[in-house]
Amino acid sequence: MIEMNKKKLEAKFKEYHTSFDTYFKKYEVMLSDDTDKAFYKKEQEIMAIYIPVVDKIFKLSDDGKNTEAKTSAYDHGSIVGDMVKTLEEHMAYNQTLAKNDAKEAMSAKSSATTIMIGLSLMVALAVIVLVIIIRNNIMNGVFLIRDGIAGFVQNKELKFRINYGKK
């Protein structure tokens, strides 16, 4: 029973290690700056130390050297602490970056909104000016037609009066 639990534990550890490596490699392409890269490098260095230690502990346990395995696990416990501390610092750093990026995005959104409102007002003003120009041109045409008709009628009346002597 204990042997079966050891094998399950070892298999689970290998599964976690593979999963960690996979996600670690996926994260590598998203490194944002030198600080992020430094955290990543430190985490890799710690894992490079940690994996052989765990493999050694499993080997000692498989060989029946449980006391030595236990001693090795306690002796190297600080590696786990270092890894946890580094991961927490890295996570806190990324959270700070995310908050700053969110603030910048909100600022950009606010600026974009202001620009769009300004452009909308300019377009509205241009439409109003065009409407006034079109209205004035139409009215000028109407006035010219009116004046032309009035002039024509007036001219006809004048000719009529001259021709027929009426006042």
Task: Confirm whether 146 is domain-assigned.
Answer: no
Q: Is 61 exposed, middle or buried (0-12, 13-18, 19+ CB in 10 A)?
A: buried
Task: Confirm whether 119 is domain-assigned.
Answer: yes
Task: Confirm whether 90 is domain-assigned.
Answer: yes
Structural domain containing residue 61: 2-136
Task: Confirm whether 113 is domain-assigned.
Answer: yes
**pLDDT tens-digit profile of 102-160?**
888 888 888 888 888 888 888 888 888 888 888 888 888 777 777 666 666 666 665 65
Q: What is the tally of structural domains in the chain? A: 1
Task: Confirm whether 132 is domain-assigned.
Answer: yes
pLDDT at 115: 85
Global confidence as pTM? 0.55
Contact 69, 60 (CB under 8 A): yes
Indicate the average pLDDT of the chain: 81
